Structure 1
Amino acid sequence: MDNSKTLIQLLRNDYDGLLPVDLNSSSQLSTYIQAATSQNTRKAYRQDVQHFIAWGGLLLATPEIIVRYLHEHAEILNPRTLSRRLTALKHWHVYQEFSDPTLHPLVRKTLTGIQNVHGRPKEKAPAVTTEQLTLMVRYLKQQDTLQAWRNNALIQVGFFGAFRRSELANIQWENITFVAEGMEILIPRSKGDQGGEGQVCALPYGDKALCPVTALKTWCEKSYIESGFIFRAINRHEQMSYAPLTPDGVSLIIKSIAVECQLPHAEKMSGHSLRRGFATETSKKGAPFVSIMRHGRWKH
């Protein structure tokens, strides 16, 4: 079977009918190829191509029209966003078996120039310290609401598990095992495990001030969660959804708690602040670098 036709069939779904519809493929092989790229990446590529078309771009695209697109968005969009847009256009053309217009020297030079003029180093999210985490937990424990119980578990599990925000949002009851020493959380798939082998994060019991295991147990008892997603959306009427928080929602919660606690640089905190905080704090206490990397599921 012609693998290129399978790729074209795959991209048909990703680009909403922009690809030929007269090519057939093996559904099983399409599944494997689709799994090579994360769902979030495919969604981003779809949106990128749609943005290009909405602006007035045509498919097939020429180097000249792409340069115009870059020029008109140079002062509006982040250079990293423009770079991803080019990658999306590249995929569209390659999987259509057309030449890649983004490889043209004029396109590459234009993007490089935009990066040199408008690019700036990505600002790192401030790391949450153990003292700051204690303040946040103490603040939340003063409130007897579903949101407070959820948020208490969210920030403690996020910190001590060094979870990415997407990992936190996707934790499910079925993936949690409570053991004598604490609990184990199975992460079926993550950014550092695109192969889908699965990774286990072990969290021990803490003390009275900070304990992710107790916080999570309390949240599940208060919310009566016995299946499905653990960290769910809750509206202002304290009505809980079955749907999980989004990764952006996780970041907003962490930032809002930091602001309410009047922590330094609270406005710059994000979902990465907990993960970075764990690495920073454990490193200060002398934990081996390899152990920190392994626990946080960072690639060596």
Structure 2
Amino acid sequence: MPPKRKRNATMISPSRGRGFRKPPPAQRQKKPRQNDLVNIMEETRDEGQPSFSQEPQEIRPTFGLPEDLGTAYRTAILYISALSYIHKIRGIQDNTQSFIVKKALQGLHRSRGVTADPRTPLTLSILQLVVSALPSVCRSPYEAVLFSTLFSCAYYGLLRVSEVLNIQKAHISLSNFKVSILIPRSKTDQFGNTTTLHISKQPNSLTCPVHWILKFLRLRPDNAPSFFFIHIDKKGVTRYQFNFLLQKAIQFHSIQGHFRPHSFRIGRATDLAKQGVPDSEIKVLGRWDSKAFQNYIRL
């Protein structure tokens, strides 16, 4: 029997649709507190109640509230809120509101405060570098066009990665001068009231969504699934692949910063503010329903 052929440690052939492989588990950073929450949710589903439901003091070590575990205050609040919801929906006594937990959170807030968002804005100038690097870091011309289209749409549409990856072909209306994208549901639109984004043609074709969508449509396979952003084998792009190509393009130009998929949204909001666009308009363009947009503007 011939020996098995070794694959690249991080990437596989685009013909398999994925285009990338996650590194081995030993190389991936573990998230113990997040895994703990998942385990508790599984226990709740299978057994009907969390194992610590009668012991509120156990919540602190389980989710790393002591400051020596490095838990951010906002992260602790998020996980405790999730646990509170689990208790209530199961009709279990909500120990997350106990004196011990509240005091632990207060102490954590005093010692750490609310940490600043570490993500670096991906502004237009950086987007130009990222797109220019894609032909060099992608495995095929098709993939370069695919991710150029994805990244330009994410930036100009202030799109969350979950929104841009779930765009369907039927959601896009295109002309030579603008593209309209229907967002059927989003983080701030849980009831599916829908929002339509209108993105005008940009003077620089390197980062123009209209230019890239037109080009991608000429290459996109026929009779493909409903999702718009697909590989050549008709499989959809994943969040991991989106971030992987972003990091490869950033590294290609040795750009310093903590860039993540949300950096497109932060960068566009920052650029709009620098251009003098009113806060009220930025809020509408980004589909924010609170003052949270102010945290995205880095001047």
Q: Tell me how far apart the structure 1 counterparts of residues 76 and 278 of structure 2 sit (CA, whole Å).
A: 39
Q: Tell me how far apart the structure 2 counterparts of residues 282 and 72 of structure 1 sit (CA, whole Å).
A: 38
**Structure 1 unaligned blocks of 5 or more:** 1-42
CA contact (8 A) 1:163 1:296 kept: yes
Q: 1:132 to 1:229 in 2, by over 3 A?
A: same
Specify the code of the residue in structure 2 equivalent to 1:161.
G
Name the TM-score, length of structure 1 as normaliser.
0.71
- For 2:144, what is the secondary structure of its paired residue? helix
Residue 166 (str. 1) matches residue 157 (str. 2): no
Shift of 1:120: 5.4
| Match of residue 117 from structure 1 | 111
Q: 1:183 to 1:44 in 2, by over 3 A?
A: farther
Q: Tell me how far apart the structure 1 counterparts of residues 221 and 242 of structure 2 sit (CA, whole Å).
A: 21
Count of residue pairs brought into register by the alignment:
248
CA contact (8 A) 1:135 1:261 kept: yes
CA contact (8 A) 1:172 1:229 kept: yes
| Match of residue 128 from structure 1 | 122
Residue 277 (str. 1) matches residue 273 (str. 2): no
Specify the code of the residue in structure 1 equivalent to 2:147.
N
| Match of residue 212 from structure 2 | 215
| Match of residue 49 from structure 1 | 40
Q: For the aligned residues, what is the CA RMSD?
A: 3.1
Shift of 1:291: 2.4
Q: 1:203 to 1:100 in 2, by over 3 A?
A: same
Specify the code of the residue in structure 1 equivalent to 2:59.
I
Specify the code of the residue in structure 2 equivalent to 1:195.
F
Q: Tell me how far apart the structure 2 counterparts of residues 110 and 201 of structure 1 sit (CA, whole Å).
A: 43
**Structure 2 unaligned blocks of 5 or more:** 1-33, 45-49, 291-299
Name the TM-score, length of structure 2 as normaliser.
0.71
| Match of residue 12 from structure 1 | none
Shift of 1:262: 1.9
Residue 58 (str. 1) matches residue 51 (str. 2): yes
Q: Tell me how far apart the structure 1 counterparts of residues 40 and 207 of structure 2 sit (CA, whole Å).
A: 46
Q: Tell me how far apart the structure 1 counterparts of residues 273 and 65 of structure 2 sit (CA, whole Å).
A: 45
Q: Tell me how far apart the structure 2 counterparts of residues 165 and 103 of structure 1 sit (CA, whole Å).
A: 33
| Match of residue 228 from structure 2 | 230
Q: Tell me how far apart the structure 2 counterparts of residues 199 and 66 of structure 1 sit (CA, whole Å).
A: 40
CA contact (8 A) 1:45 1:85 kept: no
Q: 1:97 to 1:294 in 2, by over 3 A?
A: same
CA contact (8 A) 1:45 1:88 kept: no
- Of 201, 205, 220, 2:201 maps to 205
- For 2:207, what is the secondary structure of its paired residue? coil
Residue 194 (str. 1) matches residue 190 (str. 2): yes
CA contact (8 A) 1:129 1:277 kept: yes
Once the two structures are superposed, what CA deviation does each residue of 1:114-165 show, in whole Å capped at 9, x if it has no partner?
3433565133421122222222222335675222111111111111111111
Q: 1:241 to 1:117 in 2, by over 3 A?
A: farther
- Of 146, 152, 160, 2:148 maps to 152
Taking only the aligned residue pairs, the percentage that are identical comes to: 23
- For 1:177, what is the secondary structure of its paired residue? strand
Q: Tell me how far apart the structure 1 counterparts of residues 234 and 67 of structure 2 sit (CA, whole Å).
A: 40
Q: 1:109 to 1:261 in 2, by over 3 A?
A: same
| Match of residue 252 from structure 1 | 244
| Match of residue 264 from structure 1 | 256
| Match of residue 17 from structure 2 | none
CA contact (8 A) 2:176 2:201 kept: no
